[in-house]
Amino acid sequence: MKNNLSQRAIVRLTQYHTILRDYSKKKIENITSSQISKLLEIDETLVRKDIKNINCKGKCKVGYSVFELKYIIESVLDCNITKKAYIIGAGNLGIALAKYSKFNDFGLEISALFDIDKHKIGQKVDNKPIYDLNTIKKHIQSTNINIAILTTPNKVAQEVTNFLVESGIKYIWNFAPTILTVPEGIHVWHENLIGSFLQFCTIENIS
Amino acid sequence: MKNNLSQRAIVRLTQYHTILRDYSKKKIENITSSQISKLLEIDETLVRKDIKNINCKGKCKVGYSVFELKYIIESVLDCNITKKAYIIGAGNLGIALAKYSKFNDFGLEISALFDIDKHKIGQKVDNKPIYDLNTIKKHIQSTNINIAILTTPNKVAQEVTNFLVESGIKYIWNFAPTILTVPEGIHVWHENLIGSFLQFCTIENIS
C-alpha cells in the first residue's frame, strides 16, 4: 500500500498522524479535513484526497474518527513493523535523535548509539547504551541490524561510512552535511535540513 | 527565480550544492550530471533538467563548471541574502542546529539561542550567546529578527509558541513533534524527520 503513495503524501500522512496523536491524547473523537487543513496550512482538497486514497471514510458534518484514521495511517505506513537502527555519533545531534519520541510511533527503534569517545562509551541515553564504534561489527552480527543513522562530524563522515559498510551496514540515513560515496548495494538517504528551510522560505516568501 | 522552482527541485539544488562544495574544496573543476546522479541515486535526466532550468550550461564531455554551477545555485536560492534566526531551546537539538555548518552556506544565520535554564543562560555555542527566553521581546525589538527555530520539549512547545508570537516572532520552524496552533499571519513549518525516514524506507523497500 505504502508503495502506491507519493513521497509527499507519505510526509503529509505522518503530519496528520501527529495531529491525531495530539487529538487522541486530548480525548477528542472526531476530526474534519478542514481542521487538519488549517493546522498544517495546506489545501483542504489535498487532505481529503490523501485520506480517501488510504480508504478512510468520514461522516458528513462529523468528519473522521480520530481512532480509525490514526489506525489506518499506522497500517498504511507499516508502523507496526519495527525497524531497528543504530545511531553513529553520540554528540548533540545523535543524542537528540535518540530521544526523539516520534520515531517509536512510526516503528523506528533506536537500539544503541556508537561513538569513539571513551567518556561517552558505557553511558546511556534514554536507556539506550553507547558502545565503542570499533565493536559495531560484532553487534551487527548478533542483531542483524543494518540501518545506521549517521551524525558524526562532517570531516570523518566518509571514513566512518567506509567502516560501517565493511562492518555490515546496508542503509545509511546521513545527517552529516556531505555527500557520501558508497559501493553498489548500499543505500544512503541524505537528510537535508537546509532544503527544508528553503522550502519554508519559498512558500512564505521569507527573504 | 526561486519561486518558479518546485519544492522538490529546491531540495535537489541544495544537494547538488553540497556535492559542489565538496568538489570545490578538493579543487575539482568540472562535474557531470552522471556524477551527480550517481552520488545522489537520482535519475540523470532529472539532474540535467534541474540544471537547465536554472540556466547553467554544460560543455560536451566536460560537464559543468563546479564554480559556475555552485554560484548559480547560490544566486537562485538567494543564499547571499542573510536570513537571521533565533534558536529556542538550548538542548541537544538546539545546540546541534546552532553548530550546523550548512545553514551559513545558504544564508541562514543563527544569531542567538534562548533557554530558561539558568545554567545555560550566559554560555555560548559556537560563539552564539544563550539568552534568557524571558528577554526575547527586547532582543526582537532591537534586531527585527522574526524567525524562530523551535527545539523545546514537546510538552511546552505550544506555550512557548504563544510567548514567541506575543514577543514578535512571525515565522516558526518547528522541530518539536507536535502541531502548533498560531494566529492568522504567523507561519509555521513543521519539520518532519520521521517523514523523511519513511520516504527512505519506501524508496529502498526497507521493512
B72-92: pLDDT as tens digits: 999 998 888 899 999 999 999
Same domain, B151 and B182: yes
Mean pLDDT of chain A: 92
Nearest-Cα residue of chain A relative to residue B187 = A204
CA–CA separation, B3 and A195 (whole Å): 14
Same domain, A57 and A119: no
Whether B87 is in a domain gets the answer yes
Q: Chain B window 146-175: which residues touch A at a Cβ cutoff of 8 Å? A: 147, 151, 154, 171, 173
The answer to whether residues B176 and A99 touch, using CB atoms and an 8 Å cutoff, is no
**B50, B76, B102 — which closes off a domain?**
B76
Distances (CA, A) of A104 to A79, A82, B118: 9, 9, 31
pLDDT given at position A207: 66
Contact across the interface for A83 and B198, Cβ inside 8 Å: no
On chain B, the residues whose CB falls within 8 A of the CB of A12 are 195
The reported pLDDT for the residue numbered B207 is: 66
Asked whether the predicted pLDDT for residue B1 surpasses 70, the reply is no
My answer on whether A56 and A115 are in the same domain is: no
Residue B162 domain-assigned (yes or no):
yes
Which residues in B lie closer than 8 A to residue A2 (C-beta atoms)? 198, 201-202
Please tell me the predicted confidence (pLDDT) of residue A60. Answer: 85
- Cell numbers at B123, concatenated: 554560555
Distance, in Å, from the CA atom of B58 to the CA atom of B36, rounded to the nearest integer, reads 13
Answer yes or no: do A191 and B188 touch at CB < 8 A.
no
Residues 125-144 of A with CB under 8 A from B: none
Determine the Cα–Cα distance for residues A16 and A77; give it in Å rounded to an integer.
Answer: 12
Contacts of B171 in chain A (CB under 8 A): 200, 204, 206
Average pLDDT over residues B20-34: 94
Three-state SS for chain B is: CHHHCCHHHHHHHHHHHHHHHHHHHCCCCEECHHHHHHHHCCCHHHHHHHHHHCCCCCECCCEEEHHHHHHHHHHHCCCCCCEEEEEECCCHHHHHHHCCCHHHHCCEEEEEEEECCCCCCCCEECCEEEEEHHHHHHHHHHHCCCEEEECCCHHHHHHHHHHHHHHCCCEEEECCCCCCCCCCCCEEEECCHHHHHHHHHHHHCCC
Across the interface, whether the CB atoms of A10 and B102 are under 8 A apart is answered: no
Q: Which residue of B has its CA nearest to A205?
A: B3
The answer to whether residues B68 and B101 belong to one domain is no
Count of CB atoms situated within 10 Å of the CB of B48: 17
Has residue B204 been placed in a domain? Answer: no
CB contact, 8 Å: A11 with chain B? yes
A88 pLDDT more than 90: yes
Q: What is the torsion angle, in degrees rounded to the nearest 10, for the CA atoms of residue A90, residue A77, residue A22 and residue A173?
A: 20
Residue A163 is placed in which grid cell? 567502516
Residues 101-120 of B with CB under 8 A from A: 101-103, 105-106, 108
Give the residue among A97, A183, A140, A17 at the shortest CA–CA distance from B175: A97
Does residue B192 carry a pLDDT above 90? no
Q: How many domains does chain B have?
A: 2
Strand partners, B115: B132
Chain B nearest-CA residue for A92? B92
Question: How far apart (Å, rounded) are the C-alpha atoms in residues A142 and A139?
Answer: 5
First to last CA, chain A: 39
Range of the domain at A28: 2-76
Both B9 and B71 in a single domain?
yes
> Both B137 and B166 in a single domain?
yes
Among left, alpha and beta (phi > 0; psi -120 to 50; other), residue B151 is alpha
Cβ separation A93–B96 shorter than 8 A: yes
**End of a domain among A76, A109, A136?**
A76
Q: Which helix (H) or strand (E) holds A132?
A: strand A128-132
Largest CA distance in chain B: 60
Q: A201, B83: Cβ pair inside 8 Å? A: yes
Question: Which residue, B128, B131, B126, B127, is CA-closest to B116?
Answer: B131
Scanning chain A, the segments in alpha helix (DSSP H) are 7-25, 33-40, 44-53, 66-76, 92-98, 102-105, 136-143, 154-167, 193-204
Question: Considering CB atoms only, which of B22, B77, B147 is closest to A206?
Answer: B147
Residue A45 CA to residue A27 CA, distance in Å, equals 26
Interface of A with B in 22-61 (CB under 8 A): 22, 39-41
pLDDT of residue A171: 96
We report the CATH number of the domain holding residue A151 as: 3.40.50.720
Task: Write the pLDDT tens digit of every residue in B36-85.
Answer: 999 888 899 999 999 999 999 988 889 999 999 999 999 998 888 899 99
C-alpha cell at B32: 557531470
Q: Are residues B19 and B88 in the same domain?
A: no
Check pLDDT > 90 for residue B16.
Answer: yes
Grouping H, G, I as helix, E, B as strand and the rest as coil, residue A91 is: coil
Find the residue in B nearest to A12 (Cα): B195
* Residue B201 located in a structural domain: no
Specify the pLDDT at position A86.
98
- Beta-strand pair A124-125/A30-31: unpaired
Do B121 and B148 lie in a common domain?
yes
- Same domain for B97 and B69, yes or no, is no
Q: In chain A, which residues have their Cβ closer than 8 Å to the Cβ of B178?
A: 18, 22
Select from B49, B76, B103 the last residue of a domain. Answer: B76
Give dist(CA B147, CA B97) in Å, integer. 14
Q: Does residue A116 fall inside a structural domain?
A: yes
Per-residue pLDDT of A156-182, as tens digits, reads: 999 999 999 999 999 999 999 888 999
Does B181 reside within a domain?
yes
CA A152 to chain centre: 18
Q: What is the ipTM of this complex?
A: 0.87
Contact B105 A199 (CB under 8 A): no
A72 shares its domain with A97: no
| CATH number, residue A45 | 1.10.10.10
Q: Please check whether residue A200 lies inside any domain of the structure.
A: no
For residues B140 and B41, state if they share a domain: no
Q: What mean pLDDT value characterizes chain B?
A: 92
Pair A17, A60 in one domain = yes
> Does A14 fall in a domain?
yes
pLDDT of residue A192: 83
